[in-house]
Amino acid sequence: MSSQWKKEIAKRRAKLLELQERREQRRKGRVSELSVHCPRQDEKFVDVDSILSELLGPNENLLLTSSKTAEVGTESIAFKQREQQHGRPTLAQTEILSLIQQPNITLPKRQQYNKSVQVDTVQQTDEEETDPNDIANKTPLSEQERLPQQEQKDLPPAYEPPTTNKQLRFAEESELEEKQLHINTFLRTAKKRACRALMQNVANIFAEFNIDDEGDEGIEVDQGMGLTCTTEFTNEKIVQNRAVNGVAYSLKHDGSILAAYTSDTSFSAINGLVAAWNPHLLQAPEYTLQCESEVITIAASPAHAHIVCGGANNGQLYIWDIRQGPLPVLSSSLLFGGHSMPVCGLQYSSSQAGSSIISCSTDGTVKSWESTMLTRPAGEITLVHTEQASNYQEPYASTNATQSTLSPSSMALCKSNKGYITVGLENGCMCTTSLLDVVTQTDTQKHLDPTPAHSCFVTGVDISSHFDPDAPSMESDYVLTSGLDAVVRLWSLREEAEDSETTSVPSEESTPLSISSKLLHEFPHEDIVFDVKWNPIDTDIWASVDGNGCIRTWSIANETKPMLAKATTREESALNRLAWEPRYGNHIACGGLSGKVHVYQKLSG
């Protein structure tokens, strides 16, 4: 084993020596190549001597010089050999080292960037205007614009992230919902048109009642005398165990009626319910509106056919848009400026600036609201009555006066330019104030002197204007009041010049208008009268409903026989509210405890 190991070591040593010799040969070869390119100094001198000897011939001095130069050359060669032996690098070696040590590094190309800053645009004057061609040349073009049209077509399309299964599923579901919505809308409108065509011979079955319609499509009036019940609106599933709280006609569509209902006693039923009835669809209401509290009063917007406003039992006001579904789109607040008790009166007031909402509550406040915002009231007054301790008052004498807040039970708004608001009170009195005070003032106490109208609760009040062209100074407003004493009273309102000396209540605020009320006539009834309303067209005619289920029409122009007609419902249940058709004044809608809405036609001879 030792002999083999020695042989192996000898082979490896021989191989190493061989590799060292090859390296030396390669190194010497490189040095010789460099020496060829860079000739030595002694070779240069030898070449010069040979050239001079050929040109000048043999000469001793020249030979001496050549020998000297040769000696110098040999000495320089010997010196260089000694330097190599002592380890000092020669010129060739320094050149080789410089060639080996200097790395071959290619520097990157210098890139130029144009930095721009966004500044405000400055309008250029005529002198500063530049040529549009120069501007086009200066603006940098994108890579797509630089390429020719054919190359742009060959470019691959931009990268688009792949759609996931969740995104595809969401897109499909949204598309299905949209299709289902269109199908439901088509079926609903087709059902209404088919019912309208089957029930009655209507000329235009494609008339839409949820958009503005200016067409005059009045219901034909039969000739004769008295009142005739033409339509009854009811639905057992929707209005079961409910009574009618308020009735109002649509001001845009003929025959469309809004009815507010009481809350149902069942636990699962909705508290507030408003139904929009169409005379061509008797089986079910065309629209049903809902809210959190029982709706007491209802009114239709005079400017928008699809807007409905209602006053609730909790003191809130609700605005519905029948295009947006059954839930209200706006509601007033119970804390910030809203009513704190049930709303007993609600009407729209139209002016040049727009329409506003006037509401009255049993908390003694009358508020005005913008028709598009119910966050805070635009104006507010509190109805206050001041009672003096003594009947007479000496000048500059101190008296003890007590203030009490009035509790309204009903409200009526004057339709003339005077702007009166007449309020019926729970104690049987009536008071009138100016609409301007409600609109302009905020949280102000309005001192009023109520007029005794009835012996008990005032159930209804309405005001109408009558103008005599022969005697303009005799213009007056007539007020109807009804109460639990089964009597309807007719009053006249006039403005009088107020005497500042006889003012009973001194106040730093502006003095209110002095409006006197005078009793003109009494109309007794057989039972409690719940509501009275003037005819909007024939201003001499008015109607009343009572607890026996009777509806009566009256005329103040006929002194001998004021009652014109009388009709009674089949159920003979009490009728709570009534409303006249606003465009022609030939139909009366009334509702009562049975939950039905009856439409009566006024026949004229």
DSSP 469-494: TT-GGG-EEEEEEEETTSEEEEEEEE
How many Cβ atoms from other residues are within 10 Å of residue 531's Cβ?
A: 25
At residue 579, the pLDDT reads 94
Q: Of 375, 502, 388, 506, whose CA–CA distance to 447 is shortest?
A: 506
pLDDT at 398: 45
Q: Is residue 346 part of a domain?
A: yes
pLDDT band at 502 (very low <50, low <70, confident <90, very high): very low
Q: Is residue 539 part of a domain?
A: yes
Partners of residue 404 on adjacent β-strands = 385
More confident residue, 79 or 228: 228
The strands making up 487-495's β-sheet, listed across from edge to edge, are 458-466, 476-483, 487-495, 515-524
Torsion of CA 234, 249, 366, 353, to 10 degrees: 150
Share of the chain above pLDDT 90, in %: 26
Domain for residue 517, yes or no? yes
Mean pLDDT of the chain: 74
Span 113-118, mean pLDDT?
Answer: 60
pTM: 0.62
- Does the structure show a pLDDT above 70 at 107? no
The residue among 239, 330, 325, 331 whose CA lies nearest residue 277 is 239
Most confidently modeled range among 43-52, 74-83, 243-252: 243-252
Q: Rounded distance, CA 287 to CA 221, Å?
A: 27
* Domain final position from 41, 59, 75: 75
For β-strands 379-388 and 444-447, DSSP reports them as parallel
Res 445: pLDDT: 79
Question: At 433, phi and psi to the nearest 5?
Answer: -135, 175
Could you tell me the CA-to-CA distances from 266 to 270, 271, 509 in Å, in that order? 9, 10, 50
Which residues fall within 8 angstroms of residue 152, CB to CB, at 6 or more apart?
144
Structure-block tokens of residue 473: 């100074």
Q: Is the pLDDT of residue 99 over 50?
A: no
Number of H-type helices and E-type strands within the chain: 10, 30
The predicted structure's pLDDT at residue 346: 94
| Residue 515: strand pairing partners | 495
**CATH code, domain with 518:** 2.130.10.10
Q: Are 378 and 366 in contact (CB under 8 A)?
A: no
Q: How many CB atoms lie within 10 A of CB 253?
A: 23
pLDDT at 523 over 50: yes
Structure tokens at 533: 């309303």
- Residues 405-424: pLDDT tens digits? 889 999 998 876 667 889 99
Q: Do residues 444 and 381 make contact, with C-beta atoms less than 8 angstroms apart?
A: yes
Decide if 176 is inside a domain.
no
Give the three-class secondary structure for 439: helix
Bridge partners (DSSP) of residue 227 are 602
> Pick from 75, 95, 128: which residue ends a domain?
75
- Judged against a pLDDT cut of 90, whether residue 488 lies above it is answered with yes
Question: CA-CA-CA-CA torsion for 506, 507, 512, 518, nearest 10 degrees?
Answer: -30
Q: For residue 551, list its beta bridge partners.
A: 545, 567
Q: Is residue 424 part of a domain?
A: yes
pLDDT at residue 603 tops 70: yes
Residue 426: pLDDT band (50, 70, 90) is very high
**In this structure, how many other beta carbons lie within 10 angstroms of the beta carbon of residue 517?**
19
Indicate the angle between helix axes 2-37 and 91-101, nearest 10 degrees: 100
> pLDDT of 171-209, one tens digit each?
888 888 888 777 877 777 777 667 666 665 555 555 554
**DSSP at 593:** T
**Amino acid identity, position 200:** Q
Contact yes or no for 529/460 (Cβ under 8 A)? yes
Of 157-166, 243-252, 479-488, the range with the lowest mean pLDDT is 157-166
- Token readout for 152 is 């742009």
Least Cα distance to 377 among 340, 420, 423 occurs for 340
pLDDT, position 511:
45
In this structure, the number of other CB atoms found within 10 A of the CB of residue 591 comes to: 28
Partners of residue 579 on adjacent β-strands: 589
Report d(CA 427, CA 407) in Å as an integer.
8
Residue 555 is assigned to a structural domain of this protein: yes
19-75 tens-digit pLDDT:
988 888 888 877 565 555 555 555 555 566 677 676 665 554 444 444 444 444 455
CA of 563: how far to CAs of 36, 330, 520, in Å? 145, 43, 16
45 lies in which domain range? Answer: 30-75
Residue at which a domain ends, from 51, 75, 99: 75
In this prediction, residue 437 carries a pLDDT of: 74
Residue 128 lies in a domain: no
Percent with pLDDT over 70 in the chain: 63
pLDDT of amino acid 339? 92
Span 317-338, average pLDDT:
90
Q: Is residue 121 part of a domain?
A: no
DSSP state for residue 506 in the 8-state scheme:
-
Determine the Cα–Cα distance for residues 402 and 388; give it in Å rounded to an integer.
7
**Higher pLDDT pick, 591 / 2:** 591
Tell me the pairing of strands 272-277 and 563-568.
unpaired
Task: Please tell me the total count of domains within the chain.
Answer: 2
The single residue listed with the structure tokens 């929707």 is 238
Answer yes or no: is pLDDT of 506 > 70.
Answer: no
Kindly tell me if the per-residue pLDDT of 321 is higher than 70.
Answer: yes
pLDDT at 266: 77
Cβ partners under 8 Å of residue 520, min gap 6: 478, 490, 491, 492
> What confidence tier does 448 reach under pLDDT thresholds 50, 70, 90?
confident
- Is a pLDDT exceeding 90 seen at residue 461? yes
Give the pLDDT of residue 148. Answer: 54
Residue in the structure block whose two tokens are 């004493």: 485
Contact predicate 296/260, CB 8 Å: yes
